[in-house]
Amino acid sequence: MKETTCAWAINTPLEREYHDNEWGRAVYDDRVLFEFITLEGAQAGLSWITILKKREGYRAAFLNYDLDMLAKLDDSNVASIIENFDIVRHKGKIASVYNNARAAIELQNEYSSLSKALWQFVDGKSLTNQWSSMDQVPASTETSKEMSKFLKKRGFKFVGETICYAFMQATGMVNDHLIDCPKYNLDK
């Protein structure tokens, strides 16, 4: 079988680097998981390449995703973020980061980590799908719907079922590399 990189990752070197080195690899670090909650929420309605290009701006704007520091901030910081950082300038998405940090800390307190709270949806281990074409990959699943409801109930914003599925893909909760992609066998 000829290996073919997932079609979404062949347009730019930045997408290819992200695909080859991050996408679909299991992430258990709370800070990195929160980064992806933030980035996937910011991506809603936009292309992923737009977010990847602004990733460093997000890290700078949101204090490298330090939950304790972010939780102390509120909407009064939005104007400064818009003016001083290269991120998507959507007031609601920016304000959601502070709100979501507070909600994430609550999950850490309840589950001992954000990771445990989120990985419970896949029983703590990656699910490997067997897609042969990109049109088979769903935009959401029953599991992402459950995660979305769980997060919304706990106060998170910008965590719809499609965003949650993209988050699950990005953080390796699901492996949606195509079966003929060289990165399909992530453990090897």
Which residues does the annotation mark as catalytic? 18, 40, 48
Q: What is the DSSP annotation of 110-157?
A: HHSSHHHHHHGGGTTSPEEP--SSGGGS-S--HHHHHHHHHHHHTT-S
Residues in the chain: 188
Strand partners, 127: 174
Burial string for 72-93 (b: 16+ CB within 10 Å, else e) reads: ebeeebbeebeeebebbebeeb
Radius of gyration of the chain (CA): 16
- Reduced DSSP (H G I as helix, E B as strand, rest coil) percent helix, strand, coil of the chain, to 5: 60, 0, 40
Distance CA 75, CA 94 (A): 8
